[in-house]
């Protein structure tokens, strides 16, 4: 009686095999991209805090896919991906360093989740995009950037310092340079409620770094988008008095400027104003929409059940360099009402931006 034995691959063989598979995938992707007509600059953009991309794919994907098909953005910026980063070694140890550019797939459950996600992204309309990830160690935070394959970025980095191999903690930044503009996708840390390291102090440091970034990178027009976790003016919240006096368990911060709902404290709003002013930046939505819109003027909505029912904030933005403001054709929020219509399962709705092309058609070479 013959016995058949399955050859057990060594770890080194597995790694080599996986590397070859990745190389083949990249070669196929490159071949596909070579077949696509190259365009110079993107003109249509979308940003969305998905509040778990995997959950949106499981529960709301057909509706969101239809929305993307209809708007047909050149670039899609996603925040709160909430997919954990892969290990950067063969070790499954929780303490092993992470590869924040890749999705975790070293357990049965993570492999299945990644399979479901990648299958969804391979289908129309998402198969037309190249995707970059910057992920946290756990199912928390994280960002993604989808760019149509017809656009060829000059560089992509994942930190405000523009260091090639570095990712921000929790995967909060993707910075992409095109020929004549750069786009910054950020998931800004929430201010929190207290004078603590992971609350007010963390947000102050972040705002300081963003201010330094916009001041030091004015060589090219900027589009800064994402969940910026701040409502700049009273017009940007549905109930200013409610948000300005909100407390958590009765806690009162030592400084009056830190009172209120995270995202609507005087301190955050003042720092945001300084970033816009010193960076010579324009709030694209407010540039076009001067009046308060209680139906469609907010990008985040509180839980329909409880004291936050009907309480809404505009905390998702497209911020553009002043040089681009006359090119703004439209900037819209696509959710409305307190029942979260157009939010596709998230607590944030998509926001879109459209720019007009330059005098020379952006898809043609100057004659």
Q: Which of 167, 232, 334, 348 is catalytic?
A: 348
Binding residues for Mg(2+): 49, 80, 227, 229, 347-348
User: Given 74, 170, 187, 334, which residue is catalytic?
Assistant: 187
Task: Give the DSSP letter of residue 309.
Answer: T
**C-alpha angle 207-209-211 in degrees, rounded to nearest 5:** 70
Concerning whether 227 is annotated as a catalytic residue, the answer is: yes
- Distance CA(264)–CA(270), nearest Å, equals 10
The C-alpha torsion from 238 through 242 and 247 to 249, rounded to 10°, is -100
Please give the C-alpha separations between residue 237 and each of 230, 243, 271, 296, 298, in angstroms, as whole numbers. Answer: 10, 8, 18, 11, 7
Determine the Cα–Cα distance for residues 171 and 79; give it in Å rounded to an integer: 9
Annotated binding site: 49, 80, 227, 229, 347-348
Catalytic residue selected from 227, 236, 283, 316: 227
Q: Is 167 a catalytic residue?
A: no
User: Is 187 a residue of the active site?
Assistant: yes
Measured CA to CA, the distance from residue 237 to residue 230 in angstroms comes to 10
Q: Single out the residue of 218, 329, 194 nearest to residue 280, CA to CA.
A: 218
Question: Using CB atoms within 10 A of its CB, is residue 250 exposed (0-12), middle (13-18) or buried (19+)?
Answer: exposed
Residues taking part in catalysis: 187, 227, 348
């Amino acid at each position: 009686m013959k016995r058949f034995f399955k050859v057990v691959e060594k770890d080194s063989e597995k790694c080599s095999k996986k590397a070859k598979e990745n190389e083949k995938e990249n070669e196929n992707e490159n071949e596909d991209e070579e077949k696509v007509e190259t365009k110079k600059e993107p003109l249509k953009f979308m940003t969305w805090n998905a509040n778990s991309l995997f959950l949106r794919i499981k529960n709301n994907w057909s509706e969101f896919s239809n929305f993307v098909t209809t708007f047909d953005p050149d670039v899609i910026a996603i925040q709160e991906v909430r997919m954990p980063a892969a290990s950067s070694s063969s070790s499954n140890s929780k303490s092993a360093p992470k590869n924040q550019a890749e999705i975790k797939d070293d357990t049965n459950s993570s492999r299945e989740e990644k399979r479901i996600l990648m299958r969804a992204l391979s289908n129309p309309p998402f198969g037309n995009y190249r995707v970059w990830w910057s992920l946290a160690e756990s199912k928390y935070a994280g960002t993604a950037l989808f760019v149509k394959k017809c656009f060829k970025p000059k560089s992509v980095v994942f930190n405000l310092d523009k260091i090639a191999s570095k990712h921000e903690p929790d995967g909060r930044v993707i910075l992409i340079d095109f020929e004549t503009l750069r786009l910054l996708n950020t998931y800004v840390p929430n201010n929190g409620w207290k004078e603590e390291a992971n609350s007010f102090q963390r947000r102050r440091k972040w705002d300081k770094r963003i201010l330094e970034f916009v001041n030091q990178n004015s060589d090219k027009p900027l589009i800064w988008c994402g969940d910026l976790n701040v409502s700049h003016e009273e017009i940007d919240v549905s109930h200013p008095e409610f948000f300005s006096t909100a407390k958590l368990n009765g806690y009162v911060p030592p400084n009056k400027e830190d009172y209120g709902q995270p995202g609507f404290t005087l301190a955050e709003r003042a720092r945001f104003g300084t970033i816009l002013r010193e960076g010579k930046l324009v709030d694209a939505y407010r540039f076009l929409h001067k009046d308060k819109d209680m139906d469609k003027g907010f990008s985040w909505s509180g839980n329909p059940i409880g004291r936050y029912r009907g309480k809404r904030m505009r905390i998702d933005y497209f911020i553009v360099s002043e040089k681009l403001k006359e090119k703004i054709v439209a900037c819209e929020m696509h959710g409305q009402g307190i029942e979260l219509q157009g939010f596709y399962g998230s607590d944030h709705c998509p926001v879109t931006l459209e720019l007009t092309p330059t005098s020379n058609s952006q898809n043609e070479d100057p004659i």
